[in-house]
Amino acid sequence: MGSRYREVYESWKQDPERFWAEAAGAIDWFKPWDKVFDADAGIYGRWFAGAECNTCYNAVDRHVNGGRADQLALIHDSAITGTTAKFTYAELKREVVALASVLKNHGVRKGDRVIIYMPMVAEAAFAMLACARLGAIHSVVFGGFAARELATRIDDAQPKLIITASCGLEPGRVIAYKPLLDGAIEIARHKPERCVILQRPQQTCELTQGRDIDYADAVARERAAGANVDCVPVLATDPLYVLYTSGTTGQPKGVVRDNGGHMVALEWSMWNEFGVEPGEVFWAASDVGWVVGHSYIVYAPLLHGCTTVLFEGKPVGTPDAGTFWRVIAEHGVVALFTAPTAFRAIKGQDPDGAFVPKYDLSKFRTLFLAGERADPETIKWAEQKLNIPVIDHWWQTETGSPMSQNPVGLGQLPVKYGSPGVPMPGYDIQVLDDAGHPVGRGTLGNVVVKLPLPPGCLPTLWNADERFRQAYLAEFPGYYKTADAGYIDDDGYLFIMARTDDIINVAGHRLSTGGMEEVVAEHPNVAECAVVGIADAMKGQVPCAFVVLNSGVNRESAAVEQEIVKLVRDRIGAVASLKTVVTIKRLPKTRSGKILRATMQKIADKEAWTMPATIDDPAILDEITAALNGRGIGV
């Protein structure tokens, strides 16, 4: 059967408001909208203006009321602790209501912010949904970020309360969260009133008197008291969450997600794009701290009435490269969504796919990859070993769901290796040159989206309308700048090739090299620095810092380099993955003083490069080549 993609995309293009109003029929609203799209509201317009709804109601209560009470809603599978916990929709509601009651008793109300700094435990999802139930705005901070990153987010979001755990678990390592929490609150100007702390048996922590609340005790009390908390109606345009993502400086951007449009977009995506039916088991192997975790571990599968898997572990080493197949077989997963890096890791350890036939993967229909460029070799390997379609798709924290995809629900189109598919309804994707003129098919340029953005995309940045305009809308008037470079081929398939800003993608994690440079520059011996992303076989990219030491520094450069590695780990977190620091005598610059980062990256990656015409002193590039080669890089 042919794909309905073109027909459906055309129907969106003909009448976007009718298209999204129809999609909104899949959501329960407390009050219908006054306008499907209010072009005069917000910065570029707002979706479902005037409507009232509640995301927790749609993700949980409506399924309990509608016959799914006894269906599994959430499976927590920890490959690190070797434990599994399962929650039906009725049980999920009980957990969420009890926690919402705790939050409410501590004064959390509609519009208040709550930071969730959690490892991959089921309580992280309960916490998100409990906030949604109250109309409070959650901001989940990835557990791999260090105290200072947490502090930045505390100051920006100004949370009333923080929900956290005593520890996170990485293979062979327990990460105590309490010192990170205390450190962050110490650094932050804003002080949250309360912290709700989940004690994990692997490492408990001492609670701070007068501030901290024991999660389990508090929830048990509410349950025993038979607490009930109704879902608080919020405007469709009210924020559901703020998720901080790397920007072009060390100051992360608070991406705002609303309630109404978000639900409509996610619910639409589950069948049409991911081809998953209510009642089926969907697994996004990501982390709740990233947008993939928000959208496809928690909200989309639950809105759609699926069973979602929340997995604590790694694709390799917990305990082996067969873990993904074990989870799929054990829980009857029909679709897995992960980052290509996870498959490169599996392929690296089990190149022949020897673990695959050990498990019953008969229910597994589709593998979805996103978060970074999916290299054709990895896709082909996965297709061959799993014998199912492998679908690359492209999106960003800002959009909340795919901008381009090969929509398996609408009918799969032919796969083109290296392409994350075709534009999804809502997205008029164009490629412009730097002056803002459209380029021809097959020509590389700036990938932009014609405004307005569809439901589910960010309406603005938290408390930063002007930054939103400047960062995304100013450069190409009438368009949203994705900051990705790419091209569209003759068949309308998109190819995403690189970022146009300082963002790098490390193991599917989005990081700012500018943010890292700010930290490296704090080292007292560093005069100047540049951080670039260089190719890595497993992680896709890893950062490499070039540093010039202050004149008169009389120490072994190796010692300084190690201190810099530690500094970045302490300030940003281990997730930054900065392991290579190279001391050089001077940085290559243009005559106007711009650091030639792209040329340094090309040298490190052994790509062809040409001498920039405006370079100040060409000999510097030989010095850099020698320094890198001395480390075995770019040889």
The site for ligand COA (CB under 6 A) is made up of: 143-144, 168, 170, 175, 285-287, 290, 292, 314-316, 338-339, 341-342, 345, 371, 506-509, 539, 574-575, 577
**Looking at 286, 295, 366, 396, which residue binds ligand AMP (CB under 6 A)?**
396
User: Measured from the CB atom, is 314 or 393 closer to ligand AMP?
Assistant: 393
Per-residue binding letters, 230-269, with ligand AMP (x by CB under 6 A): ---------------x------------------------
The C-alpha atoms of residue 166 and residue 143 are separated, in whole angstroms, by: 11
Tokens of 286: 């990501």
The C-alpha atoms of residue 502 and residue 514 are separated, in whole angstroms, by: 6
Does residue 449 touch ligand AMP according to CB under 6 A?
Answer: no
CA nearest neighbour of 298 among 69, 64, 92: 92
Does residue 420 touch ligand AMP according to CB under 6 A?
Answer: yes
Does residue 406 touch ligand AMP according to CB under 6 A?
Answer: no
Tokens of 479: 């368009």
DSSP 615: B
User: Measured from the CB atom, is 337 or 479 closer to ligand COA?
Assistant: 337
Per-residue binding letters, 270-309, with ligand AMP (x by CB under 6 A): ---------------------x------------------
Per-residue binding letters, 471-510, with ligand AMP (x by CB under 6 A): -----------x-x-----------x--x-----x----x
- Measured from the Cβ of residue 611, the count of other Cβ atoms closer than 10 Å reads 10
The C-alpha atoms of residue 608 and residue 411 are separated, in whole angstroms, by: 40
Rounded to 5°, the CA angle 459-295-483 comes to: 50
Q: Which residue is nearest to ligand COA (CB)?
A: 144
User: Measured from the CB atom, is 504 or 587 closer to ligand COA?
Assistant: 504
Question: Which residues have C-beta within 8 Å of that of residue 202, sequence separation ≥ 6?
Answer: 81, 167, 169, 174
User: Measured from the CB atom, is 30 or 417 closer to ligand AMP?
Assistant: 417
How many CA atoms does the CB half-sphere of 428 hold within 13 Å?
A: 14
Place of tokens 């024991």: 214
CB of 132 to ligand AMP, least distance (A): 21
Per partner kind, with CB cut-offs from 5 to 8 A, the member of ligand COA, ligand AMP, none near residue 141 is: none
CB of 209 to ligand COA, least distance (A): 27
Does residue 394 touch ligand AMP according to CB under 6 A?
Answer: yes
CB of 315 to ligand COA, least distance (A): 5
- Measured from the Cβ of residue 266, the count of other Cβ atoms closer than 10 Å reads 28
Does residue 446 touch ligand AMP according to CB under 6 A?
Answer: no
Per partner kind, with CB cut-offs from 5 to 8 A, the member of ligand AMP, ligand COA, none near residue 396 is: ligand AMP
Phi, psi angles (nearest 5°) of residue 205: -135, 165
Rounded to 5°, the CA angle 517-119-94 comes to: 140
- Measured from the Cβ of residue 556, the count of other Cβ atoms closer than 10 Å reads 10
Exposed (0-12), middle (13-18) or buried (19+): which is 317, by Cβ within 10 Å?
middle
**Given the rule CB under 6 A, which residues bind ligand AMP?**
245, 291, 370-374, 392-394, 396-397, 420, 482, 484, 496, 499, 505, 510
